[in-house]
Structure 1
Amino acid sequence: MNAIVKTAEAVLVLLAVALFAMPATAQERFEDPQLRERFSELTRELRCPKCQNESIAESGAPISADMRERVRKMMREGATDEEIRQAMVDRFGSFVSYRPVFAPHTWALWIGPFVVLVIGVGVVLALVARNRARRELDSTPLSEEERRRAEQWLRDE
């Protein structure tokens, strides 16, 4: 009997932990399926400032809950998707958007990966060229003078 009680307690604890670990998405607050879908899309496009690699739809952080509530409130007030995105960017910076605008302050986000790629390709090509040149140097035949000196050196040893 004691083992059954301990097993039941363990199952209840695991269920409680699983319940609190689930992402907090509150889509049920919208009766209209179009609003629910719009809310879902918007919250997947906005990044949690604390979690950094989770959308506010997935994150369980308190700041994400506040952001979701703000999105919900703005939607009820009739704000467009762009107004909501802009309000979040104004409040949290360009980092909050998974799709930041192409502007001088975000050029590094847009151009940086291509610069890194070009540098990487350049390094690889330089290494290949250096190895090829080294192999060519190693494979050139000895001149008659070099051969004579090598034979002399071997005899002296």
Structure 2
Amino acid sequence: MAADQRRRCAHVLDARTVVLVIDRDGEVDYYATAAEAARDMEAIDVRGEEYLGVYGLDGEVYSVGLTGERHHEVPVLTATGQRDLVRLRELLQAAHARSPSRVTTADPASFVNARAMWEWDRRRLRWPRWLDRRLHGTAPALLPTQQR
């Protein structure tokens, strides 16, 4: 079973590995791991300093860099060991006005859960129900509320 299928079946994200990526446009995306976030980033955006920051739920700051030869560069995220929960909360508050999900919380864990529910409600395939359950499970992957 693939990792994304296990996560979907378990309905739980691991708060220790979830990262939030915030870009210059105020768009906030969350990923189950830093490796997953790096795979979704583009080298041209990293070079153009498109990303305002990458943070763990606890405010851990990740540096964004590139590895590999020019024209074959791959984004890499590295935990810096520094924490800046205040800055993360500021960025989340600023982002909510531009976000289509209109998630208004500045708490990172609450943001991830609210965003997951918003995306779940807007998923495309819902019928037939048996296929929807097979592809998407019965609920989105969420963070446990006691892991803050």
Give the TM-score of the pair, scaled to structure 1. 0.21
Higher normalized strand content (fraction of residues): 2
Higher normalized helix content (fraction of residues): 1
User: Which is higher, the Rg of structure 1 or of structure 2?
Assistant: 1
